[in-house]
Amino acid sequence: MSKPLVSESLSDTVRSKMESELVAGHLAPGTVLDERSLAERFGVSRTPVREAVLHLAAQGLLNVIPRVGVVVPKLGIRELLELLEMLAEMEGVCASFAAKRMTIVQRAEFRAALKACRQAARNGDSKRYAGANKKFHEIIYAAAHNEWAVRQVRALRMRCAAYQRSRFDLAGRLDKSLGEHERIVAAIEAGEVARSRLAMQEHISIGGQDFADLVRGLDPNLLASG
């Protein structure tokens, strides 16, 4: 949990920088890099870069192809659907765990986060809502009290970050999201495991028209051609 007092290794530094660029949207899917350029860019040798790349590749965030380079993998629509389906399930699992194990103090934080969501939604402030939303979900992760579940859901979020930025910019999304948050809070506070899971699952999952909107809003170049 706590950051090591000794300076983290260069590999870790490079890895987190690349992670940031990945989720921020620079290094878009389809980009091909090479280790030497990366090494030069980060001011280190190839070794730490390679280790960072290998680590990210192990998580599926990068794809290293011999004699070609390291590429940011593109997802086909089918793969994207699978990923989002998985994410919804995992978030549902976390919510169900939270329903079983949320502490008193976490419950207070939870209510506060919900209140922040309400205010942001009332003002139509999508940027502020995004922040409150993140806080909301972070509390659920903490309340899940299961390190592996949380780690996995974070990895999944990173994995599909490039494909679902700015979900809150569409009209009506804020109020819809808020309503779902209210349902989630009710279920978790009642300790109803199954209902918590379902509410979260529906909150995260993208079905029907929503998915069509998502795909339409995507840069076609982000999708795999094959």
Partner DNA sequence: TTATGCCTTGTGGTATACCAATTCTCTATT
Partner DNA sequence: AATAGAGAATTGGTATACCACAAGGCATAA
Is 78 near DNA (CB under 7 A)? no
DSSP tag of 223: B
Stretch binding DNA (CB under 7 A), from 5-13, 22-30, 73-81, 147-155: 5-13
Of 62-101, which residues contact its own copies (CB under 8 A)?
A: 66, 79, 82-83, 85-86, 89, 93, 97
Is 12 near its own copies (CB under 8 A)? no
| Strands of 63-65's sheet in order across | 32-33, 69-71, 63-65
Residue from 64, 81, 116, 160 in contact with DNA (CB under 7 A): 64
CB 84 within 8 A of CB 205: yes
Phi, psi of 102 (to 5 degrees): -65, 135
| 3-class SS of residue 141 | helix
* 21 class by beta-carbon count within 10 Å (0-12 exposed, 13-18 middle, 19+ buried): middle
**Contact of residue 64 among DNA, its own copies, none (CB under 5-8 Å per partner type):** DNA
Single out the residue of 74, 32, 77, 79 nearest to residue 53, CA to CA. 32
CB 74 within 8 A of CB 222: yes
Stretch binding DNA (CB under 7 A), from 42-50, 108-116, 174-182, 185-193: 42-50
> Angle, nearest 10°, between helix axes 10-24 and 147-159?
60
Alpha carbon distance 226, 221 (integer Å): 12
**Contact of residue 173 among its own copies, DNA, none (CB under 5-8 Å per partner type):** none
Stretch binding DNA (CB under 7 A), from 21-29, 38-46, 124-132, 194-202: 38-46
Residue from 24, 68, 186, 194 in contact with DNA (CB under 7 A): 68
Total binding residues toward DNA, as defined by CB under 7 A: 23
Phi, psi of 136 (to 5 degrees): -55, -50
Nearest to DNA of 6, 104 (CB atom): 6
Residue from 16, 25, 36, 221 in contact with DNA (CB under 7 A): 36
DSSP tag of 222: G
Dump the DSSP string for 156-182: HHHHTGGGS--TT-STTHHHHHHHHHH
Is 10 near DNA (CB under 7 A)? yes
Stretch binding DNA (CB under 7 A), from 44-52, 76-84, 115-123, 133-141: 44-52
Is 39 near its own copies (CB under 8 A)? no
Binding site for its own copies (CB under 8 A): 6, 9, 50-51, 54-55, 58-60, 66, 79, 82-83, 85-86, 89, 93, 97, 145-149, 152, 156
